[in-house]
């Protein structure tokens, strides 16, 4: 490694479970954390979360006189979010941006943030994740060798399809809707009367075009950025999920930082949230303008009939008093 820089591939990360990153430890050497820390993100290089972590890297670089920085590997270069979470937990990646959904399988306290209709709006979600509730959920990751640093937006997810507008749950009945490989997403879509079809994210466009699926659900930037709006004629603003995303750090890397550097990393992460939200809001506005100029029919939705069908889903996944307390506190932060 020269000046903290290194060539890194997913193969080299996985090979032998070796510890990489700016704080790599050699046998017999005292741990020293300096140079470029590694960061992973499945989103493409121009995505707001990637740019926010790069902003964080510049912040660290400036505050430490070049002693610390972050080298990002975007676009899934190091594998899926599930893969990179595992690598991060044993110290092979220093920073990792992941959606909360993959965290559900390792920490039950992350489930409340993923419930359909638990958040009423983007403002409500941001208010919650910026509160003690967000701090507690992120702290629950430490026993899994992950340090929760901050929480980013992932937007409001709505249904889009090639068949018809969705105005009531009955309009979803029988439609084949793509979902991520998540038990909660599958349960949600099936409870609404549609048929959940778990397929990889990269196959959505082709599957819509070829009729393998009738629709999918995601946020405005993804609907436009992945060109799904070219093949799905109907966007219905159910806004059923506002699941946020997490920036986590390997506990092994964290413990190799000095106390002062730990405080600086948290300071940088907090500053990156402001930048991420600024970039995200711009991206959402651009996507809405693109859809408005297209042939896509957009309709608003009375969400109450949809939310009413989610009680069995909530009961299936929220099973402990601690989870129930988080849900109660989330709902208490609603406007009005």
Q: Give residue-wise pLDDT tens across range 294-318.
A: 999 999 999 999 999 999 999 999 9
Confidence of residue 26 (pLDDT cuts 50, 70, 90): very low
End-to-end Cα separation, the chain, in angstroms: 55
CATH match for 37-333 among 3.40.309.10, 3.80.10.10, 3.40.190.170, 3.20.20.100: 3.40.190.170
Burial label for 302, CB within 10 Å (0-12, 13-18, 19+), is exposed
Q: Which tokens is 117 given?
A: 């209709």
Q: Is 246's pLDDT higher than 50?
A: yes
Q: Is 130's pLDDT higher than 50?
A: yes
Q: Is 6's pLDDT higher than 80?
A: no
Pick from 255, 267, 248: which is nearest to 23 by CA? Answer: 255
CA gap 41, 148 in Å, rounded: 15
Confidence of residue 34 (pLDDT cuts 50, 70, 90): low
SS3 44: coil
- DSSP lists the bridge partners of residue 146 as 250
Confidence of residue 17 (pLDDT cuts 50, 70, 90): very low
Please give the pLDDT value at position 22.
45
Q: Is 247's pLDDT higher than 50?
A: yes
Q: Is 2's pLDDT higher than 70?
A: no
For residue 65, which phi and psi values (nearest 5 degrees)?
A: 65, 35
Please give the pLDDT value at position 324.
98
Least confident of 42-46, 117-121, 173-177, 321-325: 42-46
Provide CB contacts within 8 A for 38, sequence distance 6+: 8, 20, 21, 22, 70, 71, 73, 93, 94, 95
Please give the pLDDT value at position 181.
82
Sign of CA dihedral 185, 186, 187, 193: positive
Q: Which tokens is 159 given?
A: 């249904």
- State what percent of residues in the chain have pLDDT above 70: 90
CA gap 49, 277 in Å, rounded: 9
CA gap 247, 50 in Å, rounded: 10
Name the average pLDDT for the chain.
Answer: 90
Domain spans, the chain: 37-333
């Amino acid at each position: 490694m020269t000046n903290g820089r290194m060539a890194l591939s997913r193969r080299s990360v996985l090979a032998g479970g070796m510890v990489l990153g700016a704080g790599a430890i050699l046998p017999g050497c005292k741990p020293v954390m300096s140079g470029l820390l590694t960061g992973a993100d499945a989103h493409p290089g121009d995505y707001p979360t990637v740019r926010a972590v790069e902003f964080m890297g510049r912040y660290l670089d400036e505050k430490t006189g070049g002693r610390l920085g972050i080298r990002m590997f975007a676009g899934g270069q190091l594998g899926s979010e599930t893969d990179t979470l595992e690598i991060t937990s044993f110290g092979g990646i220093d920073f990792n941006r992941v959606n909360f959904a993959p965290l559900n399988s390792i920490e039950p306290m992350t489930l409340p943030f993923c419930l359909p209709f638990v958040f009423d709006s983007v403002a409500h979600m941001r208010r919650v994740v910026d509160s003690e509730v967000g701090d507690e959920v992120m702290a629950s990751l430490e026993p899994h060798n992950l340090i929760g640093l901050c929480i980013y937006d992932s937007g409001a997810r709505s249904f889009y399809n090639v068949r018809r507008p969705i105005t009531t749950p009955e309009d979803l009945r029988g439609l084949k809707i793509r979902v991520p490989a998540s038990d909660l997403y599958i349960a949600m879509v099936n409870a609404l009367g549609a048929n959940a079809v778990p397929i990889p994210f990269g196959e959505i466009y082709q599957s819509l075009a070829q009729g393998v699926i009738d629709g999918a659900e995601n946020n405005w930037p993804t609907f436009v950025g992945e060109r799904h709006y070219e093949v799905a004629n109907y966007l219905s603003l159910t806004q059923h999920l506002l699941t946020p995303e997490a920036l986590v750090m390997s506990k092994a890397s964290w413990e190799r930082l000095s106390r002062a550097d730990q405080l600086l990393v948290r300071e940088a992460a907090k500053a990156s949230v402001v930048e991420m939200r600024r970039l995200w809001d711009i991206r959402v506005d651009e996507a809405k303008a693109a859809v408005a100029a297209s042939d896509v029919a957009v309709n608003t939705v009375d969400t109450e009939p949809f939310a009413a069908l989610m009680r069995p889903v909530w009961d299936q996944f929220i099973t402990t008093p601690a989870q129930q307390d988080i849900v109660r506190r989330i709902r208490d932060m609603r406007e009005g």
